[in-house]
Structure 1
Amino acid sequence: RPGDPDDLAKKIKQALNDPVLSERLSRQAVLDVEQYGWEKRAKKILEFIA
C-alpha cells in the first residue's frame, strides 16, 4: 500500500525470502528498464515532435 512503510518492509522481506519471487521481480525490472529507458523515451519523443 502506498505510504505504508510497514507494508513496504513486509514486501521486501517477502522478496528476499522467496527466490522464485526475487527472480520474477528481477526479470520484470530488466524489461521495465528496456521499455522505459532514457534512450527509448528520447526516441519516442523525437518521433512525436518530428
Structure 2
Amino acid sequence: MTNLIFRTSGILMASLAVANVPWTKWGRRVLPLFLIWLVIAILTLTIGVWIDWGPF
C-alpha cells in the first residue's frame, strides 16, 4: 500500500513523470484513499486478533 505514496518508488515517479502529474497533486488525490485503506486494514487485523483467527 505504501508504494502509492512514497516518493522513493521509482515506478510511481516514472509513471507520474510520463503522465506529467506533479507528486503534490497525486498525493492530495491518493492520501484520502490510502487512509481509508489503512483504517480498513487496521480494523480487519483487530477483528482477526479478537476472534483468534489464524493458522494456530
Larger relative helix fraction: 1
Higher relative contact order (CA 8 A, sep 6+): 2
